Amino acid sequence: MIIFAPLTRGGVNIMLIIQIKDGENIDRALKRYKRKFDKTGTVRQLRSRTAFHKPSVVNRAKIQKAAYIQNMRDNLEN
């Protein structure tokens, strides 16, 4: 059995395909589907589009995140 789930991404329709093996538990197949769906980033993209963020705010957040990650890596090395 194969589960098809249509998604739209950037105006392009994509399809998530989950193949269910014989005797596989449906809960396990749903877990694989959810993991695959999360990797597409559809929900994150929808939430980010709910409000407009100025490019300067987005850039500042990226710089702050990079500084935070660098600080964490520096602390792990010491």
pLDDT in tens, the chain (78 residues): 566 666 666 666 777 888 888 888 989 988 998 898 888 888 888 888 899 999 999 999 999 999 999 999 999 887
Expressed as residue numbers, the domain containing 24 is 1-40
Is residue 67 one of the residues assigned to a domain? no
Domain count within the chain: 1
- Please report the pLDDT score of residue 75 as a whole number: 92
Is residue 60 one of the residues assigned to a domain? no
- Please report the pLDDT score of residue 61 as a whole number: 96
- Please report the pLDDT score of residue 18 as a whole number: 85
Is residue 68 one of the residues assigned to a domain? no
Is residue 36 one of the residues assigned to a domain? yes
Residue 7, phi-psi category: left (phi > 0), alpha (psi -120 to 50), beta (remainder) = beta
- Please report the pLDDT score of residue 21 as a whole number: 85
Residues 6+ apart with CB under 8 A from 47: none
Is residue 1 one of the residues assigned to a domain? yes
